[in-house]
Amino acid sequence: MKLISTLVLGFLFFSASSQQLKLISNYSLGIPMQDMGKNIQPAHSFQAGLLYQLPGDLKRLSVGLELGLGMYADERIDQTFQFDSNNSTVLPVDYSSNVFNANIQLRLNLLSDKKFIIPYVNAKGGLYNFFSMVYIGDPNDNGGCHALEQENLMDDHTMYWSAGGGLQIDPSVFSKQKQRGRVMIDISANTVQGGTISYINTKHLMDAQDISASSEKPLNVQFINASTQSIHEHTVAQVYTSPLRMLEFRAGITVKLSDK
């Protein structure tokens, strides 16, 4: 949080004295790769931030701050929990898995701002956070198992870097009357790599008994038998740990906020 606060204060300073400040906003599709691709679905995120274009001879170079929030799973399945040799209970389990990232970045335009289509390359570095909420519902029968904690959070983060390139396109390039505006269409592709991170497997959700038999690390929750008051554990999800590897595609807009 200290890093993010410092970056925000720095951008407030840049805003007061900037020659050119831009708002960036886009939709991001993050496709998990390698081991991560076997375990979770693509992440759909919304990204927003600021770019400060350096003055003078460095005007093709911009520095930026960006924040993103998204989701890679939102599912409900009925899980069967066996609490003794003869009795079992079926409970609805909701899985909500999300991502958050914050980064600082450098962007280099390969052509001048006077062009209607401007290719660029960029490099980013920051923090990537995966967090999941598992909510366990109540049983239909009063004598079944109840979770002692219905909401269970799985949370982990890692530092990451990203590199790629894209295009800024002035919408007027598609019209007969070409006149530069403040809004540019922005499309890009990036590779994302980071350290090892733990997350819930949501690509192939399994029943509780099958999860317990798997070789992966279990996420266990304590249950209480309403009839006998005995407390025991059940597995509600698989926890995987692998390096952060994603291929990211983005589409959005860049808006020029000031031009002095």
Tokens representing 54? 């350096």
- Span 230-254, average pLDDT: 90
Is the pLDDT at 259 greater than 70, yes or no?
no
Which one-letter DSSP state was computed for residue 162?
A: E
Is the pLDDT at 63 greater than 90, yes or no?
yes
- Span 147-171, average pLDDT: 90
Percent residues over pLDDT 90 in the chain: 49
Does domain 2-259 correspond to CATH entry 2.40.160.20?
A: yes
- Span 185-204, average pLDDT: 92
pLDDT score for 231: 78
Mean predicted lDDT score pLDDT of the chain: 84
More confident residue, 55 or 106: 106
Is the pLDDT at 1 greater than 60, yes or no?
no
pLDDT score for 16: 45
- Span 222-241, average pLDDT: 80
Q: Report which of 185, 235, 246 is spatially closest to residue 39, judged by C-alpha positions.
A: 246
Spatial CB neighbours of 219, under 8 Å, sequence gap ≥ 6: 134, 152, 154, 200, 235, 236, 237, 238, 239
pLDDT score for 23: 95
More confident residue, 80 or 10: 80
Task: Count the Cβ atoms, other than its own, within 10 Å of residue 130.
Answer: 23
- Span 198-219, average pLDDT: 69
pLDDT score for 208: 54
Q: Is 201 helix (H, G, I), strand (E, B) or coil?
A: coil
**Of 40-54, 57-71, 167-181, 195-209, where does mean pLDDT reach its minimum?**
195-209
- Span 25-46, average pLDDT: 95
Q: Are 26 and 52 in contact (CB under 8 A)?
A: no
Tokens representing 106? 């450098």
- Span 21-50, average pLDDT: 95
Is the pLDDT at 6 greater than 60, yes or no?
no
Instruction: Give CA 12 to chain center in angstroms.
Output: 25
Domain boundaries, the chain: 2-259
**DSSP one-letter string for 91-111:** EEEEEEEEEEEEEEEEEEESS
